[in-house]
Amino acid sequence: MEYNMLKLNLLEETRYEKVPVKIYSDDTGASINVARRIAELIKNKQAKGETAVLGLATGASPIKVYKELVRLHKEENLSFKNVVTFNLDEYYPIQPDAEQSYVRFMKEQLFDHVDIDTANVNIPDGTLKQEDIAAYCLAYEQKINSYGGIDLQVLGIGRTGHIGFNEPGSAPNSGTRLVTLNDLTRRDASKDFGGKENVPKKAITMGIGTIFKAKEIILLAWNGKKAPIIKKAVEGAISTEVPATFLQMSNNVEFVIDEDAAVELTRFDIPWLVKDCRWTDSLTKKAVVWLAKTLGKPILKLTEADYNNNGMAQLATDFGPVYNININVFNKLQHTITGWPGGKFNADDSQRPERALPQVKRSIVFSPHPDDDVISMGGTFIRLADQGHEVHVAYQTSGNTAVWDEDALRYVEFAMDFGQAQGQDTTYLTNLYATMKEFFKTKKPNQSDPKEIRTIKGLIRKGEAIAGARLSGLRDENIHFMDLPFYDRGKFEKVVSYEDDVQQTMELLQQVKPHQIFAASDFADPHGTHKVCFEIILEALTRLRKTEGWTADCWLWLYRGAWHEFEIHEIEMAVPLSPQEVERKRLAIFKHQSQKDLPVFPGDDAREFWVRAEDRTRETARLYNALGLAEYEAIEAFVKWKFED
């Protein structure tokens, strides 16, 4: 009876989900589990004297699966002698030894480390003449069929919903073929190729029909970037616009995802629609804000009927009357708003997000790139300085990757002209300039610059950052350039240690002993730099909290950048900006001239960074107003980090 009740409860929770979904706390545990399932298949086939036929994927999702398979081979004697593999896809055209080639990827991640017979490895050929591709693809299909089909197919999923390179518009019965890549897919690959213009426009891929024939299909997805497309693939209607939705028609598929990729599934995002909830303060706040936004009503106008008709009857019954719930949530939102991000001295701070004391706080803003500070929280940055706090800014990386080659040449030209105008010997600069021009002529996509050029590009961004920080009201001695080693080291080494980065961060924190730390938590950053920089700060603080007394009074505030904002129910400090402050923030962003008009890595959004920043903060202000709170020009939002003691 108890088992049946648990089963019914699970069915109720997952009633929006049209495929089986297994969720793990992180990608490591999930990957180990998937690798062991693959290993069991291989061993079972070996015991029967049969061949195990695997369909393999590339990209970030299966890397830890392959790592565990390699470990099982080396430490537990898992043999791949009876394994035949067929890879999903390959860019076209591309040479097999190219850095971005899937042939190279598979060798580095798996094949070079196990005892598989190379004759049993099949990866689409990116070097074919175009007129030979159709026959090649037919032969690829026939070879899969000759082994009786694929036993287990591993899939990733792209943000377009593609599986393999089956982009939107792909037919459910499609076979192996040459396809044209979606623009978003090429943008996502641009970092690997050193710019979207260098990403091949086509690829050879197994078709959806080919994938569908596999006896078992496991789709992997990790991190919050995949959450929106996972929701569409799992809960959405079957559509050619999201090819992964065709997997809903299979009885042999399972989605294996981590908690971050699962956050937008109904049972986690809007749980009151599928089950009785334990109504914590945070969940109540989220639900009431959701209800107000869904109905387009201010919070204080929500009625009992609104609650009952939208899955929130339990909340109304257990904690009503609903007007009291509305008032409670309204007050919580009201108390997030403050014009005093450093705390208001000589005022009651019991309902304010920041402390009144000490009156003058030492604040440090960590900026992963040299412009994240003013783009993401420029108004708050300015407000803290104007209100007399001791404000520091720490630029964690040089940002030299994001400077156009032409700009580097232009600055050296200026230095040559200035030197000549002063009657100085410019031989070194002239030779450097000639060397740079020659290098840029033959520079390959994604090729790292020599040290001299990285230095020039870093100095360009340093000068811009100083100008932006000065305009925001900072003294020069409070502007710190950390130039964390991981940033350049990661260009040349596959395995990167962060210990020296952590030590350097600890030293700066011990020097400043801040009452407030502001750190970027926008992990939608396409470079991944934001996440690394945050983890370095967190590790430094975690260590210091064990020995340094001042850390007990140090609060860590998280901000987000030019990609995504916090949800309204998540915000714990909302700093409203006046029209004049919005304009001053814009001028500070304008100081970063190398990033204006068209930055090297713009991400998905074609808008300039200053436009993104203003639109984002104005939208936050609009949402506060729509919920029935005061109307502001713009609002910058922050969330306080909770340390685990």
Q: Annotated active-site positions, please?
A: 167
Return the DSSP state at 594. G
CA 140 and chain centroid, separation: 35
Cis, bond preceding 358 (omega within 30 deg of 0): yes
CB 142 within 8 A of CB 194: no
**Which residue carries 């209607």 as its tokens?**
237
DSSP string, 284-319: HHHHHHHHHHHHT--GGG--HHHHHTTT-HHHHHHH
CB 75 within 8 A of CB 92: no
CB 225 within 8 A of CB 159: yes
Return the DSSP state at 197. G
260-274: buried (b, 16+ CB within 10 Å) or exposed (e) per residue? bbbebbbbeebbbbb
> CA 385 to CA 508: how far, in whole Å?
20
Tokens of 15: 């009633």
489, exposed or middle or buried, with CB in 10 Å at 0-12, 13-18, 19+?
Answer: middle
> CA 239 to CA 469: how far, in whole Å?
49
> CA 517 to CA 502: how far, in whole Å?
16
- How crowded is residue 281: how many other Cβ atoms within 10 Å of its Cβ? 10
**CA distances for 424 relative to 208, 413, 429, angstroms:** 67, 14, 11
Residue type (1 letter), 528: G
> CA 609 to CA 624: how far, in whole Å?
23
Per DSSP (E only), the strands in 403-459 are none
**β-sheet with 555-559: strand ranges across:** 479-481, 390-395, 362-367, 516-520, 555-559, 634-640, 573-577
The CB-side HSE value for 93 (13 A sphere, CA atoms) comes to: 8
* Radius of gyration in angstroms for the set of CA atoms belonging to the chain, rounded to a whole number: 28
CB 526 within 8 A of CB 601: yes
> CA 521 to CA 575: how far, in whole Å?
17
Per DSSP (E only), the strands in 214-303 are 217-221, 253-258
Q: Interior CA angle at 145 toward 142 and 146, to 5°?
A: 85
Maximal C-alpha separation, the chain = 93
Tokens of 599: 């930055």
Give CB contacts under 8 A, 24+ apart, made by 334-337: 334/629, 336/571, 336/572, 336/573, 336/574, 337/574, 337/576, 337/624, 337/629, 337/630, 337/635
Tokens of 202: 């086509």
Dihedral Cα 599, 600, 602, 604, nearest 10 deg:
150
